Amino acid sequence: MQYVFNTIGIIGKYDAPAISHTVSVLVRFLLDRGKTVVVNESASQYAGGAEVEVADHHYIGQHCDLAIVVGGDGTILNAARTLCDFDIPLVGVNQGRLGFLADISPDELTERMTEILERGEYLLEERFLLHASLLREGETIAEGNAFNDVILQKWNMARMIEFDTYINDQFVNSQRSDGLVVSTPTGSTAYALSGGGPLMLPTLDAIVLVPICPHTLSNRPIVVNGGSHITLVLNDCNNDHAQLACDGQINISLLQRDHIQIRKKEKSIKLIHPADHDHFQMLRAKLRWG
């Protein structure tokens, strides 16, 4: 499917003066080509007085054909979670450090945007998110989306937590550990990788469960089908000494006997890459392989 991009949103990293030059160049580039430009509040201060509309992510999702995210992977994670219910592709301009999602350098910004917007030369990749629900005494009290991972983790104490894991209502195990990372293929290069999980191609329909410092050393990562329903039941922790985190950006305190239900979100997100994007080349560069 070839998209037509006439109304374009710019989402800038929050409180980041480093994006100022990139945003100002991008705004002028788009306006010179007759595009309607909508910017979020973070990017608006760098628009240089140009005729742009300032709006929140919800408005950008409803009214724009494309969202250009200027920042690092964290900014894209946030944008993906807030825009996943809208059929709007994202393209990332990397102003961060180690970027696996934002793969356009500011130095090649206008060249790459010309390829995408004027010549239609790009790769479109569809990736899924996870949806987590927290149930307490049978009632859903919190929900969140995650593009990288949903994490059950201890916090504010030295001792481990204990929890049961179920996959599709089948009991897997009880474990004592510092927690568990439940990751999408996109998140396999994030916390899951640090915990010894496998690298997964981002288009795989799979979810990986990676224990964090398990007490039983034979407790290894498990890869399951992307359609699996995962339930975690918290058995042993002091009050407020365990946390549920979505992408490390949404954090919810947990209590003993809480149930966490995790499954693939129905709506996916579309990422746009340059036409010559090579996932393995990116891994070689980011992970410093030989």
Any idea which residues carry the catalytic annotation? 73
Residue bearing tokens 């009880």: 174
> How many CB atoms are closer than 10 A to CB 249?
14
Residue 254 near residue 242, CB atoms below 8 Å = yes
What are the structure tokens assigned to 220, written together?
């290894």
Angstrom distance (rounded) from CA 66 to CA 15? 22
Which pair of tokens denotes residue 15?
């409180």
Query: If you search the block for the tokens 């195990």, which residue do you land on?
Result: 173
With b for 16 or more beta-carbon neighbours within 10 A and e for fewer, the 173-198 pattern comes to eebbbbbbbbbbbbbbbbbbbebebe
Output the six-digit token pair for 70: 């200027």
CA 64 to chain centre: 20
Closest CA to 21 of 111, 113, 97, 110: 110
By DSSP bridging, strand 139-146 and strand 66-71 are unpaired
Q: Whose structure tokens read 């393209």? A: 91
